[in-house]
């Protein structure tokens, strides 16, 4: 079923590197959540952005910016509505964060 809730992407970005986590496929739209897991006992921070049509990084795209996440904690950025070729990008201050994008793609 094309419109079932599923894991769309999982990434463990390098420290201080903006990373494309998920791109909406051609002829689809999506509603997604970005889940963040800190695998370390050390607090750190993260960013999540949505780039419409995959355009270059800009401050207007950020849904979370330098959001602090406690050690061994998790966070969720919910309800990101996306169109064809939109990109979820993630950033972690330390390389101890895992990002999982879950949601529904509608073809």
All domains of the chain in start order, with CATH: 6-106 (2.60.120)
pLDDT in tens, the chain (107 residues): 557 899 999 999 999 999 999 999 999 999 999 999 999 999 999 999 999 999 999 999 999 999 999 999 999 999 999 999 999 999 999 999 999 999 999 99
- What predicted TM-score, i.e. pTM, was given to this entire model? 0.96
Q: Is 24 helix (H, G, I), strand (E, B) or coil?
A: coil
Residue (of 1, 4, 80, 84) closest to 35 by Cα position: 80
CA–CA separation, 83 vs 15, rounded Å?
Answer: 28
Q: For the CA atoms of the chain, what is the radius of gyration?
A: 13
| Residues contacting 58, CB < 8 A, separation 6+ | 51
Q: Is 40 helix (H, G, I), strand (E, B) or coil?
A: coil
């Amino acid at each position: 079923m094309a419109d079932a809730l599923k894991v769309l992407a999982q990434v463990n970005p390098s420290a201080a590197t903006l990373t494309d986590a998920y791109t909406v496929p051609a002829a689809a739209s999506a509603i997604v959540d970005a889940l963040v897991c800190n695998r370390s006992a050390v607090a750190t921070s993260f960013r999540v952005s949505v780039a419409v049509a995959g355009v270059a990084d800009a401050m207007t795209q950020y849904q979370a910016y330098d959001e602090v996440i406690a050690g061994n904690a998790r966070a969720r950025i919910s309800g990101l509505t996306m169109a064809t070729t939109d990109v979820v990008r993630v950033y972690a201050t330390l390389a101890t964060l895992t990002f999982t994008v879950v949601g529904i793609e509608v073809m």
